[in-house]
Amino acid sequence: MMLSHFGQFISHDITLSIDTTFPNGKPISCCTKDGSSILPPNHLHHACMPIDVPEDDPFYSRYNVRCMNFVRAMLIFREDCSLGYAQQMNKVTHFIDGSMIYGSNSKELRNLRSFHGGRLKNFEDYGRELLPLTKKRDSCLMMEKGSACFDAGDFRVNQNPALVALHTLFLREHNRVAAELEELNPSWNDEDIYSGKPDRF
């Protein structure tokens, strides 16, 4: 079971497609508002690939749903400008570089660092080191009173409890190593400890 969850964890390091939207940033809909049918061809966006639900579907027929919205990811031109299969844009680097832990840009990284002892921010919950709580209201499906929604290098961290657990594991491991480095090298500053390789060497 852990294999599949770790696979998702790694996939979040190398892939994040960009949704195609209208020029104003609003999402594209390929179905009528109630999902009872696909929009007429003259109203369909070119990125629409709606899923036609059979009339006798054992689940969706009870709710009169005949259309499921599906929009293709944003495409880019091929490097040599030739015709061929579609190339999708990727919001993160395609390298296994820990971006799901540390973020994909310097702004995300600054938001995750504590800037103390080379450690990442965390949320102390009765002695347990958890991921920091997020202030982004759209990071979780629900933000009911008492529910926790966490922040990490990848916004998909809250998709399922196993993914949250893996992110927590890597946060704790980073901070454990940082604490060891701090103890072994009392002259190192926060940046030295964080990078694990002081500039002077």
Q: Which residues form the catalytic set?
A: 12
Of the candidates 119, 127, 136, 123, the one whose C-alpha atom is nearest the C-alpha of residue 173 is 119
Q: Give dist(CA 179, CA 194) in Å, integer.
A: 10
Alpha helix segments (H runs only) across 44-135: 99-102, 106-112
Instruction: Kindly list the distances between the CA atom of residue 155 and the CA atoms of 82, 147, 200, in Å, as whole numbers in the listed order.
Output: 34, 17, 35
Q: Give dist(CA 5, CA 169) in Å, integer.
A: 13
Q: Give dist(CA 191, CA 197) in Å, integer.
A: 9
With tokens 């990078």, the residue in question is 195
